[in-house]
Structure 1
Amino acid sequence: MSASPLPRVLVAAPASGSGKTMLATGLIAALGERGLVVSPHKVGPDYIDPGYHTAAAGRPGRNLDAHLVGPERLVPLLRHGAATPRPADVAVIEGVMGLFDGALGSGGFASSAHVATLTRTPVVLVVNCAAASRSVGAVVHGFSRFDPKVRIGGVILNNVASPRHEAEARAGVAEAGVPVVGAVPRLPDVVVPSRHLGLIPAAERHPEALSAVAALARMAHDYLDLDAILAVAATAGDLDEPAWDPAAALAEVRAAGAAPAPAGSPRIAVAGGAAFTFAYAETAELLAAAGAEVVPFDPLRDEALPAGTDGVVVGGGFPEVHAGALGANRGLLEDVAAFAAAGGPVSAECAGLLYLGRELDGVPMCGVINVRASMSPRLVLGYRHAVALADSVLGPAGARFHGHEFHRTRVEVVGDHPRAWGWDRDGQPEVEGFVVGRTHASYLHTNWAGRPRAAAEFVAACGGWTP
């Protein structure tokens, strides 16, 4: 495949809380309203922001995370996202945390700056002006010169209080030699509500989420210089690496003899709906490329698994918010439990672990895993280098995965199960997750684009069992 001239920008900030999610979402929506096809992307493992990008762009918001998939796959995944379902005119990448903040102790690995460098993408820096004016210029000066490989092509001034405030901030940025491509006043009405793990997912706020995206689009039209931002995007370097292809990734796995092809075309039921909103688009693409028929189901509404289900995937989300409704759907809980007890393959991550446990905040769940889950005041957050401790439907013991934990719940183990993962945390060995028969359940979020063998192994397991 030839080099790609895909115009693109990475919207970053000096720190979290600067407004980059709202501005990136508004930019995506405003460019779309201009008639451009926009490919939305998010640096890091977060699932929530891509949900708003999806609502703004009308196509899947996709993640670019060097830890989860490997730095060598970032450009291929960017190109894949920009070509699917149809070629995009421009890509908007939202950064994570502060521009240079990555995995702790890694020198900025997997940071927005790292992704901008690997993908040869110019940065538009969002600076919160709420407590500064001319000093904003010093911030921009420092960020624009901290790493010569990172090019800041423009600055958006956010939370300006008045025309005089804006003029003073602009004057400071002018001294740093970086153009201002937008100035946004304080807009208390344009706010996306949050809770314990960040923004409330768009899927839980429909149609309110669409109204919020429309308001953000108006904000972008009114206060951003869209032509100037597109001019910055046009300076992005060509992308020489070929686009990622799930079928080709699986062909490599099978050519190496790592996983057999499935018998037939197994039906894999993938949980969705308001309680299970966390999913990487590449997971379903890999399952389909591996030979599966992917069928969605909603644990809040569906009273049974889809007919003919051969495998179940329950990803992340907020079951703790919907525990009562999930627990009231006894027919589906019993169906999932019976499926797992009969030997049906199940892969569950984070929210999926809670759903498969005995109870969640005192509400009975599926009972496949002997754990009780409850809310916790402690946030567990961080990248993990995990080693599989037992053979499972995702692969053999000893397999290495790169994952991410992000939750405010805890589980009390009330049964004896083989553990799923082992890793080192601050020099101390730690075990997490469970393997029960052909069920794999843990807190660890993984992106199978970084290990396509997991998709091949799971689909093979789904095609090779009978109740």
Structure 2
Amino acid sequence: MTPGLVIAAASSGTGKTTLMLGLLAALRARGVAVQPLKCGPDYIDPAFHAAAAGRSSVNLDAWAMTPAQIAALAARTTDFPVDLIVTEGSMGLFDGVAVPGETGTGASADIAALMGWPVILVIDASGQAQTAAAVALGLAQFRADVTVAGVVLNKIASPRHEALVRRGFESIGLPVLGVLPRAAGIELPSRHLGLVQAEETGELERLLSHAGEIVAEHCDLDAIMGCANTQEGSFAPYRPAPPPGQRIALARDAAFSFVYPHLMEAWRAGGASILPFSPLADEAPDPSADVCWLPGGYPELHAGRLSGNRNFVEGVRNFAQTRPVHGECGGYMALGAGIVDAEGQRHEMLGLFGLETSFAKRKMHLGYRRADLMSPMPGFATGHALRGHEFHYANILSQPDAPLARVVDPNGAEVPETGSVRVMPEGGRVTGTFFHLIAEATC
């Protein structure tokens, strides 16, 4: 397998994505073929990875995925050979849930240990000097099966600051592979839900080019590449779940964009054709499709426009009379009767469920979910167990339809976001969930 490494940190907000994007851009400029990957449930970072590396990125999830699926996704092949795998961690290196899932707790460390990938720590040294080395030493010694190969220092204020921080790392023998100055100016913008999508970022090419130049100037690229390693041994064969249909009408625009890349790759590998349509452009599902899928996204930011796009509204309503329609999170809310936006204004939605949701009083709903299906949904029969992730600020005002599943959090506690199912008089079936599907559960 191609050698790899993991970019991780002690916490969120330390500069992992900054280093990841700059490293991808810098290595690509050198002619190195890099396969980017992302630990954990994240829709945003893989799109930025793809823009920087020129190659699609997928998620690896230690709570939702089996070791075989993780290894298969890491080893997947596309149009050109790969020289190096670089995986961006999530949150802190060892942060996960309390109860393990398919492979681990969902921590980035679980992926590093499973795949034998050394970790490069991004150390936010702002407000610290030699203490930064103590933090890194604790991370390096926390788990015997995780190897920390070196660090990249971020937010260094001055040459004097750098000298003091370096002295700490010399005392513990952990290599400093790069030093990013505080004035580098390559921060990504932030917006609704704390997220900004790659396609919404103005001058993305310029930002990535600048990040690549900064990382190439201030990091030892050869030393970073030299840290990469791979796990010896073999994994069980992995066969992904079948696609939800052979011709999938997929809503795809700024309102509906959150679908995991590995799912679409699996659908295509299963022989399915994906037929994108834009609800914001008032497009209806392709009439030749045998299933319609509305992913998550930001329908609440476009609710008035969506409500008035009659071709879209009537097209999905007509499609649902005879064929399956499924919605995830934002897609689920759009299938409901109405959405109340942040200003308190209600917008009529598709009305295929009685679901009413509101953003007037925001409340975060976040975490892994296990769903045991009480009714079939596209691609899965009754009784199948699924693993996914929920992240939204909507409150349920009414959820009157039959529940799609029994849904629990990682600790086994039931959550009220059960999803919904409605069977139409002409044989169509509409299903929806607040969680985003990651993988089928095996345990």
TM-score (norm 1): 0.86
In structure 2, what is the equivalent of residue 373 of structure 1?
357
CA distance in 2, matches of 1:134, 1:67: 35
Stretch moving more, 183-192 or 401-410: 183-192
54, 58, 76: which one aligns with 1:58: 54
CA distance in 2, matches of 1:293, 1:371: 30
CA deviation profile, 1:375-426 (whole Å, cap 9, x unmatched): 2421111112221122333433322111111111123226x31101213456
Tell me if structure 1 keeps the 8 A contact 2:252–2:277: yes
Amino acid across the alignment from 2:188: V
CA deviation profile, 1:4-49 (whole Å, cap 9, x unmatched): 2x12110000111111011111111111111111111000011111
267, 270, 280: which one aligns with 2:250: 270
Tell me if structure 1 keeps the 8 A contact 2:23–2:215: yes
TM-fit CA distance, 1:330 = 2.1
Shift in alpha-carbon separation, 1:324–1:88, aligned structure 2, 3 A: farther
CA distance in 2, matches of 1:428, 1:97: 23
Would you say 1:411 and 2:396 are equivalent positions?
Answer: yes
In structure 2, what is the equivalent of residue 433 of structure 1?
419
CA distance in 2, matches of 1:273, 1:160: 39
Tell me if structure 1 keeps the 8 A contact 2:67–2:235: no
TM-fit CA distance, 1:288 = 2.8
CA distance in 1, matches of 2:254, 2:58: 19
**1:12-31 to 2 correspondence within 5 Å?**
12-31=8-27
Kindly report the root-mean-square deviation, in angstroms, between the aligned alpha carbons of the 2 structures: 2.3
In structure 2, what is the equivalent of residue 43 of structure 1?
39
CA distance in 2, matches of 1:171, 1:240: 41
Would you say 1:224 and 2:219 are equivalent positions?
Answer: yes
Stretch moving more, 362-371 or 95-104: 362-371
338, 348, 355: which one aligns with 1:364: 348
TM-score (norm 2): 0.90
In structure 1, list runs of 5 or more residues that go unmatched: 254-260, 453-467
In structure 2, list runs of 5 or more residues that go unmatched: 424-428
In structure 2, what is the equivalent of residue 241 of structure 1?
235
Would you say 1:112 and 2:87 are equivalent positions?
Answer: no
SS in 2 for 1:219: helix
In structure 2, what is the equivalent of residue 209 of structure 1?
204
323, 338, 342: which one aligns with 1:344: 323
Shift in alpha-carbon separation, 1:188–1:372, aligned structure 2, 3 A: farther
Shift in alpha-carbon separation, 1:34–1:136, aligned structure 2, 3 A: same
In structure 1, what is the equivalent of residue 426 of structure 2?
none
Shift in alpha-carbon separation, 1:31–1:239, aligned structure 2, 3 A: farther
Select the structure with the greater relative contact order (CA < 8 A; seq sep ≥ 6): 1
CA deviation profile, 1:134-172 (whole Å, cap 9, x unmatched): 111111111111111110011010000001101111110
Stretch moving more, 184-193 or 381-390: 184-193
TM-fit CA distance, 1:451 = 6.1
SS in 2 for 1:133: coil
CA distance in 2, matches of 1:39, 1:302: 36
CA distance in 1, matches of 2:216, 2:237: 32
Tell me if structure 2 keeps the 8 A contact 1:134–1:173: yes
Would you say 1:420 and 2:401 are equivalent positions?
Answer: no
CA distance in 1, matches of 2:207, 2:122: 20
Shift in alpha-carbon separation, 1:307–1:94, aligned structure 2, 3 A: same
SS in 2 for 1:300: coil
Shift in alpha-carbon separation, 1:242–1:225, aligned structure 2, 3 A: farther
- The structure 1 segments of at least 4 consecutive aligned residues displaced by more than 6 Å after TM superposition are none
Tell me if structure 1 keeps the 8 A contact 2:20–2:88: yes
Tell me if structure 1 keeps the 8 A contact 2:291–2:378: no
In structure 2, what is the equivalent of residue 457 of structure 1?
none
385, 393, 400: which one aligns with 2:370: 385
Tell me if structure 2 keeps the 8 A contact 1:59–1:85: no
CA distance in 2, matches of 1:189, 1:103: 33
Amino acid across the alignment from 2:332: L
Amino acid across the alignment from 1:273: D
127, 147, 153: which one aligns with 1:151: 147
Amino acid across the alignment from 1:306: D
TM-fit CA distance, 1:238 = 4.1
In structure 2, what is the equivalent of residue 329 of structure 1?
309
Amino acid across the alignment from 2:68: E
